[in-house]
Amino acid sequence: MIPVAFRTPADGIAREEALLAAGRPALLLWRAETAALVVPASWTRREGFPAARERCAQAGWPLIARSSGGGGVPQGPGTLNLALVVPVPRGFTIEAGFRLICGAVGEALTRFEVATGVGPVAGSFCDGAWNVTAHGRKLAGTAQRWRARGAGRVALVHAALVLDPLPASFWTALGHAHRAAGVAGPIRPEAHVALSDVLPGGMRTGSVFGALARAAEDRLATLPPVRRQAA
């Protein structure tokens, strides 16, 4: 399984959006060829943010604004994105969406003898209750976007998995962005762990991609079909 390679993170995010708009079940595994720091658009409206934007670009992490909230996250060759589009069946909740994607990541990694957990990690960027963790550190972050479609809903369920240790330049850029946005609390690089850090020795991160896609597909296949339910 080879992830789709987009030139920029913005291209990948746009593709996710197009899949959500189509509203059909879909799985997209992707990463971007160029790095960027993706931040909530609300940050970019803060006074002083233009200077931070310039500093981030100088550090090699140009900013891309996204419409959702949360925190700043890295995108680029070192981040793998798993995006699932799920026409929401009856009884499927937001929590079910998080369980689905965290379960898929966890199951895939179990095959490589990597034990994972789920939960918040103090000091991690874009922290939430549904991080996938390894050794108590954040390995992947998750988020969802729900859209009304006709009488039903469609969900985009997303995970971003850090493949390789983030360079010092990322933490520098994130610091610039956080200060300009007024984000309180320290972010600790040691709160994070990369896939390459937890895989058994010598194994390449690319080995996991196929298992990740299969685990996600298996979980999607267990969801009741929306049409049959409505009939």
Partner 1 sequence: MATDIIIPADLWEGDEESVITAWLASDGAEVKEGALIAEIMTAKVQNEITAPASGKLSILKEQEAVVVKGDVIGRIE
How far apart CA 56 and CA 176 sit, in angstroms, is 7
CA dist 136 and 118 (Å) reads 9
| CA-closest candidate to residue 141, choices 70, 218, 61, 44 | 70
Identified binder of partner 1 from the candidate list 14, 48, 67, 113, rule CB under 8 A: 67
Alpha carbon separation from 157 to 27, 30, 77 (Å, rounded) = 10, 14, 21
Residue from 58, 93, 110, 229 in contact with partner 1 (CB under 8 A): 93
Q: C-alpha angle with apex 56: 53 to 60, nearest 5 degrees?
A: 135
List 14, 18, 33, 42, residue binding partner 1 (CB under 8 A) = 42
Of 92 and 112, CB closest to partner 1: 92
Do 94 and 34 touch, CB atoms closer than 8 A? no
The reply to whether 126 belongs to the active site is: yes
Piece in contact with partner 1 (CB under 8 A), picked from 111-119, 122-130, 168-176, 194-202: 122-130
By C-beta, is 43 or 209 nearer to partner 1? 43
Is residue 99 a contact point for partner 1 (CB under 8 A)?
no
Provide the sign of the torsion angle of the four alpha carbons 38, 42, 56, 129, taken in this order. Answer: negative
Q: Is residue 113 classed exposed, middle or buried when 0-12, 13-18 and 19+ CB atoms within 10 A define those classes?
A: exposed
DSSP string, 32-80: ESS-EEEEEHHHHTSTTHHHHHHHHHHTT--EEEESS-S--EEESTTEE
The set of residues, in sequence order, having a beta carbon less than 8 Å from that of 205 and lying 6+ positions away, is 80, 163, 164, 195, 196, 199
Residue among 35, 39, 126, 181 flagged as catalytic: 126
Return the range that interacts with partner 1 (CB under 8 A); candidates 106-114, 121-129, 166-174, 193-201. Answer: 121-129
Nearer to partner 1, 145 or 179 (CB): 145
Does residue 129 touch partner 1 according to CB under 8 A? yes
CA distance 61 to 116: 29
Say whether residue 75 binds partner 1 (CB under 8 A): no
Q: Stretches 11-19, 27-35, 144-152, 159-167: which one binds partner 1 (CB under 8 A)?
A: 144-152
User: Which residues from 1-40 bind partner 1, rule CB under 8 A?
Assistant: 40
Q: Please select the residue that binds partner 1; options are 95, 113, 217, 218, rule is CB under 8 A.
A: 95
Q: Residue 74 interacts with partner 1 (CB under 8 A)?
A: no
Member of 5, 94, 168, 230 binding partner 1 (CB under 8 A): 94
CB of 39 to partner 1, least distance (A): 12
Q: Which residues bind partner 1 (CB under 8 A)?
A: 40-42, 67-70, 93-95, 97, 126, 128-130, 142-148
